[in-house]
Amino acid sequence: MRRRAVVGLGAAAAAAAGLAHAGPSVVSLGQWSRRRAVPGVCRWRGPAARQVAITFDDGPSPRSTPVILDRLDDLDVHATFFCVGRLVGRHADLVQDIVRRGHQVELHCHSHESHLRHGPRWVAGDLDDAVAALGDAGVRARWFRPPYGHTTTATIASARRHQLEVVLWSAWGREWSATSSDSVARRVTRRLEPGAIVLLHDGEDFSPPGSVARVGDALGPIVDAIRSGGLTPRRLDEVLTVE
């Protein structure tokens, strides 16, 4: 009986530790709520001003990031790019081009692996490497978006150590599963609202081929819908500094 009690306590402790580790990942579900932020944890939306942040993950990519940059130039829109550290190390010139064109560069990760699969030491090391890579490219990030939106207690602690705030999204194109640019645009536009944070992608290292092409074609309709709704597309820092 005593041995069973000890085993039971061990299982309960393991379950509690697992919950403490993965519990914050439920914040990724916040996009479906009306909440704009959980102070000290993450944001899904900006203030209810008449602005929308357009953001891109998974770059920089020499194959696709320039295509997105040219399309944004055509639309006269400035956006925010959440970059992958190991790609930044290979393509620092692209990071500098993003900044030169008036866009914002922030931090996505270094290795693009879910934080739910790793312990605190790995998460901290990955973020350390990503911050260093971005710093070598001349950028000091303020915002951090973990891969897949998966957020653990170590994610939050590591972000705080680097004075980064976790930011997710409230509208996304899910272009990797889309059959056309029209479906990407529809997915985004039906969730547009004042303060929305839109998630798209400018790289295909972690997505099926053709995903970014659909994004490029969807950008025009998305921007048209933002503007026709009386909203203005902005960089993330411009949307979040309204407060």
Q: Which residues are catalytic?
A: 57, 201
Q: Which residue has the tokens 């919950």?
A: 19
> What is the crossing angle of helices 2-22 and 153-161, to 10°?
50
Mind giving me the DSSP string for 109-174?
ESS---GGGS-HHHHHHHHHHHHHHHHHTT----EE--GGG---HHHHHHHHHTT-EEB--SEE--
Cα(119)–Cα(160) distance, integer angstroms: 17
Q: Which residue has the tokens 């040219």?
A: 70
